[in-house]
A and B are shown apart, each in its own frame.
Chain A
Amino acid sequence: MEKSVKIQLSFHPVDTEKPLVHTFAARFGLMFSILQADISPDKGGRLVLDLSGEESAIEKALQYAAGQGVDVRVLSRVVHWDDKVCVHCGSCTAVCRSRALSLSPDTAMLSFDNARCVVCEMCVKACPTGALTVELSR
């Protein structure tokens, strides 16, 4: 079954040279898009990916990554935006580094691009009206 998951990979400094994302694509046939990357060879860092492909292939790929000493976290929580509760103030956009939340220059209304969201959950705290909540995804 085709599936899409968001994952966060945390690298130790020694692991930063491993071609992990290439392996995901080449060996496991997965599609990926990099949502956030903050890695440096001397410090390690983290990578947030959206992976899609066969569910069994994703599982194998994540097992492979864990076997390489990389800390794998499946981001199973999703941010939910309730446009009926939202007042379009824009306070959430102040903390949204991935720019998933933005105000339209024309209509001044908020829009939420779930594909860009890295589920950092900063917006949930920043929202004054409770329009942004975190839900567990299926």
Chain B
Amino acid sequence: MKSISEINEKIRAGTAVVLTAEEVVKMAREQGVRETAKRVDVVTTGTFSPMCSSGAFLNFGHAEPLIRMSGVKLNDVPACAGLAAVDCFIGATELSETRGMEYGGAHVIEDLIAGKKVHLSARSYGTDCYPRKSLEAEIGLSDMNQCFLFNPRNAYQNYNCSVNTSDRIIHTYMGTLLPHMANATYATAGELSPLLKDPELRTIGIGTRVFFCGAQGYVAWEGTQCFPGYTEYEDGVRSYSGATLALIGDMKKMSTDYIRAARIYRYGVSMFVGVGIPFPVLDEDLCAQLSKGNDELFTEVSDYSVPLRSRPVLRTRVSYRELRSGTVEVDGKKIPTAPMTSLKKSRDIANELKRQVQAGEFLLTEPAAKLPLDTTKHVLHALDDPQ
């Protein structure tokens, strides 16, 4: 048994043993979980995947004469200005009014992080205290006050593998799915994926420090649609899914090496978000979870040609090892697989986080509060809902 403060002492002293999730899987197989738990202090994870529920709060600073912005566009992408005078929130998936799906909020965020200027166009109705009615400006990240990413739903614990059984090509947020199950896509970094490694959220909570797009960010809250749970198979093996995180972090410290805009054909704009979480190896139980490899982590294959709340599940218990092999078997047919998550970038993040922990630049945190494990899932009943 180790405590987080003991591990932090070792990190400060430069003596902590830090492994990436891929490395710890290998070590546990060679030396056993007990030995690994004794020897390893921290395990780093990483993921780099399109995460639509992302966006940024920006504060422009005040202009002369003063304006209370009621309508804001950045490079023709509308931002939500229903906040105080010069605050706004730009959502990653918001589309440009002039370029449509070619450019969106995620591109504005990427351009700003890359150090580029964007065109701000603001409108107002004018008040006695804020008389100005319009404003145009070219602004960059360094010209503004606080700019922080606040992503309501990131780092999905697990995600399904998608296929299309229909006879036409479909364009989804899981990519282009060819007819008659001619391809399958999946979007989780498997054994590197943060929330699969502490599936019961023992060490992650509100206030946990995380690697967030190159900056040190924090878990702000449970993510939206955070419904932690698991499926138990006949042999007692559990497959966890459903947990998500709301993350916050300083845009000015981020790097486009770890955050990029994504254009998903005929779906829209999304954002590749790079997240890494370091886990303290507190005991053998946690070490056993951290050591789970791609052959012990599972998802299911869903049919995306059915655009309903519950899509038909065509196969359960598909391991990430199988998905990574290049094909997945469904109904006796071998279907070529392709990831949406960059394994290369996920690895880069786990390695960079390992370097930062080893260098004493990144300390672990005791959560300020636990995340709820018993959230209730609600659905939306439209007025025209037949049920």
Contact = CB atoms under 8 A, between A and B. Distances in A.
A91 B345 contact: no
A95 B177 CA distance: 8
A63 interface: no
A103 to B, nearest CB: 7
Contacts of A109: 344
Contacts of A129: 260-263, 272
A82 B253 CA distance: 26
A87 B260 contact: yes
Given A94-B175, A94-B183, A87 B272 contact: yes
A87 B345 CA distance: 7
Contact of A90 (B50, B265, B270, B342): B342
B176 A108 contact: no
B185 A94 contact: yes
B343 A91 contact: no
Contact size range, B: 20 to 34
B175 A87 contact: no
Contacts of B40: none
Contacts of B260: 87, 129
A94 B263 CA distance: 15
Given A89-B340, A91-B175, A91-B340, A128 B264 contact: yes
Tell me which of A92, A94, A109, A122 has the highest count of chain B C-beta atoms within 10 A of its own C-beta. A94
Given A128-B50, A129-B260, A94 B272 contact: no
A129 B336 CA distance: 22
A128 B339 CA distance: 13
Contacts of B344: 87-88, 107-109
Contacts, number: 70
B302 to A, nearest CB: 15
Contact size range, A: 20 to 34
B176 A95 contact: yes
A103 B343 contact: yes
A126 B265 CA distance: 6
B272 A89 contact: yes
Nearest to B267: A128
Contact of B347 (A108, A126, A128): A108
A125 interface: yes
Interface string A79-111: 000000001111111110000000100011100
B342 A94 contact: no
B48 interface: yes
A89 B270 contact: no
A112 to B, nearest CB: 15
A13 interface: no
Tell me which of B50, B336, B342 has the highest count of chain A C-beta atoms within 10 A of its own C-beta. B342
Contact of A91 (B48, B178, B185, B336): B185
A87 B50 contact: no
A93 B48 CA distance: 17
Interface in A29-80: none
A90 B272 contact: no
B342 A122 contact: no
Contact of B341 (A89, A92, A94, A122): A89
A90 B340 contact: yes
Nearest to B272: A87
Nearest to A107: B344
B338 interface: yes
Contacts of A93: 338
A127 B265 CA distance: 8
A125 B170 CA distance: 13
Contacts of B183: 94-95
Contacts of B264: 128
B265 A87 contact: no
A94 B338 contact: yes
- Give me the 8 closest cross-chain CB pairs, A-B, nearest first: A94-B338, A128-B262, A88-B344, A108-B343, A89-B342, A108-B344, A90-B339, A125-B265
Interface of B: 48-50, 175-178, 183, 185, 260-265, 270, 272, 336, 338-345, 347
